[in-house]
Chain A
Amino acid sequence: MNVTVKLVGIFQIGRFKEAVCEYPTGTSVQKVVDELLIPDPLLGIVLINDVHAGVEDLLHDGDTLCLLPFIDGG
């Protein structure tokens, strides 16, 4: 299946801003995060098709997955 992956902020460093990636059916967000070597503590927000989601959620063909860093006040 094809998933459009968008990365925000520091996640783009050494990776990409947006790419269409191919994954086996039933791939979870966590699997994508692990493959991209994004450290867990830095991952703040997961959006699937612009809706907040969790790392355990499964992706479907045609989804857009957006991974954003944490935000902290200050």
Chain B
Amino acid sequence: MKSRTSDPAAEPSSVLYTRCTVNLKSGTIHREDVPCRNLEDVLGGFGRSFQILAERNISQAYCEENPLIVNTGLLTGSSAMTGLRTYFSGYSPIKASKKGLPGAMWSTGSGNFGAKLKWAGLDELIFEGRSATPVYAVIRETPDGAQVELKPADHLLGLSTHNKMMVLQKEYANAHFATIGQAGEQWENVYFGAVGLSTDNQLKSGEDKMRFAGRGGMGSLMGYKNLLALVAQSPDKIKPLSPEIRDVNINVVKGGGAARLQPISRGGGGGTWAAYDVLQAFHAVPVNNFRPQGNDLPEQLFRERVEKQFIIKSEACYRCGITCHNNIHEKKEDGSAGAFLAKFDYEPLNLLGTNIGIHDAGQAARLIHLSDNYGMDSISLGVTVSYLLSYNERHPEKPLLNGATFGDFAKIEELVIQAGEGKLPEIGRGSKRLSESTGETSYAYHVKGLELPAYQPETNPGYAWAIAGGHMSMATYGMLTREGKSDMESWVEGITQTKLQIVGFDMIGLCKFFDITKGICTQMVVDCLKSELNLDVTTEALAAAVRRAFLRGLALELRQGYEKEEYTLPAEVWERPNTNIKLPNITSPEFIAELQQRVWEIFEPQLARLLPDS
């Protein structure tokens, strides 16, 4: 990033970002400094990539014109805590309108790849076309700036996300990696391939503790392009901590923002896993394909139970004091930690555990481990499997595939392995397509083609307007449970004003745990931008840019054929109201209909002129 102004909101074109466009078909590589069009471009992430995607008319995800955009945010690679995000954007193989057009999508993860990419001298990489043979890309810092080179990747074919990184690590010192697994390689039959991002901990220990940009099948798009891995090689260039950023970082760790995500041993809440206990108090932990039963089954995966059997290590990405990872290890006889099994974040644990009838931590760990290593989005995988199990429960006389039912670990494991190897398109193409093939769509728990995260839709009608996956791009998932909001006014305000601001984190390069309740429009972020980059940006300008970026995403969905009636929840929610959930009912057909009307009344007039004329 090169800046000739300190006021990027007023003079965005005086800020230039370094982009490298790689044509995988011809092998041509072109580097340029691109002036920003607006503050969204300056901030980066999906704020920039969606403007690029909006310039293209794409009618199917797997086509040469669909780019894969890999970029960072302004604070990626900075000394601001959590500044490690990498973003992957493109038209998604899995998110699709009923008209069949692919939705624009981004996904993001931490690990150290993004920072290395920035330090190597690039803000953005665009992969065009498709390589005829498997390749990987190496991004290196040279005296002439960042250089990108394509290399044959035959030796990586068939390896897991983690094993690809281990092979590349032997060749490239001082580097970090983004890789796909076998699932992404089998893109024709797996639409929810994820991209793994290496962590320092992983490269040092050899344990498969990577992070993921999981949602939306960006790993499958990478696989379609025959691009198996990215290597970013550069010395670390983190700036010395300024007093301002030191204060911000202390505030992030000790202040309200992320304290509750810290390890319990440090007085924190123990990461996202804590959601199990809280949601169970309302019988709102998803069980057996989002049908909580009002019993104590979910308690079997409570942390206090798992701790008796396994060692839980609280670990972190590079230099992050939040330490939100809960890594599960075998417990040896002497009580010390044995082999690493899996990471227990709330979403994968629930969706590959309780929600498919698996209540044994070791079995859930095995499924998460498989999902990560094959490189699949654990949310889409888990929810598609839970749909299948629900179908089989309803049709015992004529079950699908191997006849697996809830809790049948051996058969579920077989499904996961076959899906990861690309041998089970029924699972690999997601719950929307599977349910359309059976004709039973009401209990397929996706919205707009993207599977729901592990919060009951009964607690979150905001899912309907999330532009890139339920909890990542619309922070309404706690409005009923946490805030007790069940009135129409609060929900309209939440969806159209306050809760959409969460997507700011997917522009600027920070984790949402930096300050999940307040978002990026805070003095903390203003201080970071000033101290790291000498940019003066107000919280108001940040809020306006985040809002424009969100609305652009919504406008892009409509352009890709989404009808307003697709902004809804799975029909089972009101066809079979679940009285076990101990919360007010805010998903009756009447409530949803009024919410739709009120939300569109606000959004629709604001969608004009956000997209280029086509």
Which residues of chain A have a CB within 8 Å of any CB of chain B? 8-10, 12-13, 39-42, 44-45, 47, 50-52, 66, 68-74
Q: A72-B516, A74-B347 are in contact. List 4 more A-B contacts (CB 8 A).
A: A41-B255, A52-B483, A74-B272, A74-B513
Contact of A50 among B269, B345, B483, B582 (CB under 8 A): B582
Q: Provided the pairs A72-B513, A73-B471 are in contact, do residues A52 and B484 lie with their beta carbons within 8 angstroms?
A: yes
Shortest CB-to-CB span from A7 to chain B, Å, is 10
Q: Does B281 contact A8, Cβ atoms closer than 8 Å?
A: yes
Q: Does B269 contact A69, Cβ atoms closer than 8 Å?
A: yes
Interface residues of B, count at CB 8 A: 39
Q: Does B471 contact A41, Cβ atoms closer than 8 Å?
A: no
Residues from chain A with a CB closer than 8 A to the CB of B481 are 45, 71
Q: Does A73 contact B269, Cβ atoms closer than 8 Å?
A: no
11 A-B Cβ contacts within 8 A?
Answer: A9-B274, A41-B259, A45-B482, A68-B281, A70-B260, A73-B471, A73-B472, A73-B478, A73-B512, A73-B516, A74-B471
Query: How far is B324's CA from A10's CA once the two chains are assembled, in angstroms?
Result: 15
Interface Cβ pair total, 8 Å cutoff:
88
Shortest CB-to-CB span from B254 to chain A, Å, is 9
Contact of A72 among B267, B272, B276 (CB under 8 A): B272
Shortest CB-to-CB span from B539 to chain A, Å, is 22
Residues from chain B with a CB closer than 8 A to the CB of A44 are 260, 278, 482
Q: Does B483 contact A41, Cβ atoms closer than 8 Å?
A: no
Query: How far is B299's CA from A12's CA once the two chains are assembled, in angstroms?
Result: 14
Q: Does A69 contact B582, Cβ atoms closer than 8 Å?
A: no
Residue from B260, B279, B582 whose CB has the most chain A CB atoms within 10 Å: B260
Residues from chain A with a CB closer than 8 A to the CB of B484 are 45, 51-52
Residues from chain B with a CB closer than 8 A to the CB of A41 are 255-256, 259-260
Shortest CB-to-CB span from A69 to chain B, Å, is 5
Q: Does A9 contact B277, Cβ atoms closer than 8 Å?
A: yes
Q: Does B281 contact A66, Cβ atoms closer than 8 Å?
A: yes
Q: Does B278 contact A68, Cβ atoms closer than 8 Å?
A: yes
Residues from chain B with a CB closer than 8 A to the CB of A9 are 269, 274, 276-278
Contact of B261 among A39, A66, A72 (CB under 8 A): A72
Query: How far is B275's CA from A42's CA once the two chains are assembled, in angstroms?
Result: 12
Interface status of B567 (Cβ within 8 A of chain A) = no
Query: How far is B484's CA from A74's CA once the two chains are assembled, in angstroms?
Result: 20
Residues from chain A with a CB closer than 8 A to the CB of B345 are 74
Output the nearest chain B residue to A52 by Cβ-Cβ distance. B484
Q: Does B278 contact A69, Cβ atoms closer than 8 Å?
A: yes
Give B266-296 interface residues, CB cut-off 8 Å to A.
267-272, 274-279, 281
Contact of A70 among B346, B453, B475, B482 (CB under 8 A): B482
Shortest CB-to-CB span from A71 to chain B, Å, is 4
Residues from chain B with a CB closer than 8 A to the CB of A12 are 304
Output the nearest chain B residue to A74 by Cβ-Cβ distance. B272
Interface status of B264 (Cβ within 8 A of chain A) = yes
Residues from chain B with a CB closer than 8 A to the CB of A8 are 277-278, 281
8 shortest interchain CB distances as A-B pairs = A52-B484, A9-B277, A73-B471, A74-B272, A41-B259, A71-B275, A41-B256, A70-B260
Contact of B478 among A10, A40, A47, A71 (CB under 8 A): A71
Contact of A71 among B324, B482, B512 (CB under 8 A): B482
Residues from chain A with a CB closer than 8 A to the CB of B516 are 72-73
Q: Does B281 contact A42, Cβ atoms closer than 8 Å?
A: no
Output the nearest chain B residue to A51 by Cβ-Cβ distance. B484
Q: Does A70 contact B281, Cβ atoms closer than 8 Å?
A: no
Query: How far is B512's CA from A73's CA once the two chains are assembled, in angstroms?
Result: 9
- One digit per residue, 1 when the CB lies within 8 angstroms of any chain A CB and 0 when it does not, for chain B 359-371 equals 0000000000000
Shortest CB-to-CB span from B343 to chain A, Å, is 11
Q: Provided the pairs A52-B484, A69-B260, A70-B482 are in contact, do residues A39 and B277 lie with their beta carbons within 8 angstroms?
A: no
Interface status of B224 (Cβ within 8 A of chain A) = no
Interface status of B445 (Cβ within 8 A of chain A) = no
Query: How far is B273's CA from A71's CA once the two chains are assembled, in angstroms?
Result: 9
Q: Does B513 contact A69, Cβ atoms closer than 8 Å?
A: no
Shortest CB-to-CB span from A23 to chain B, Å, is 22
Interface status of B477 (Cβ within 8 A of chain A) = yes
Residues from chain A with a CB closer than 8 A to the CB of B324 are 74
Output the nearest chain A residue to B470 by Cβ-Cβ distance. A73
Give B440-499 interface residues, CB cut-off 8 Å to A.
453, 455, 471-472, 475, 477-478, 481-484
Residue from B259, B274, B276, B582 whose CB has the most chain A CB atoms within 10 Å: B274
Output the nearest chain A residue to B255 by Cβ-Cβ distance. A41
Residues from chain B with a CB closer than 8 A to the CB of A13 are 264
Query: How far is B277's CA from A42's CA once the two chains are assembled, in angstroms?
Result: 14
Q: Does A70 contact B277, Cβ atoms closer than 8 Å?
A: no
Contact of B259 among A39, A45, A51, A73 (CB under 8 A): A39
Query: How far is B260's CA from A68's CA once the two chains are assembled, in angstroms?
Result: 12
Q: Does B274 contact A70, Cβ atoms closer than 8 Å?
A: yes
Shortest CB-to-CB span from A42 to chain B, Å, is 5
Shortest CB-to-CB span from A68 to chain B, Å, is 5
Residues from chain A with a CB closer than 8 A to the CB of B256 are 40-41
Q: Does B269 contact A10, Cβ atoms closer than 8 Å?
A: yes
Query: How far is B256's CA from A55's CA once the two chains are assembled, in angstroms?
Result: 16
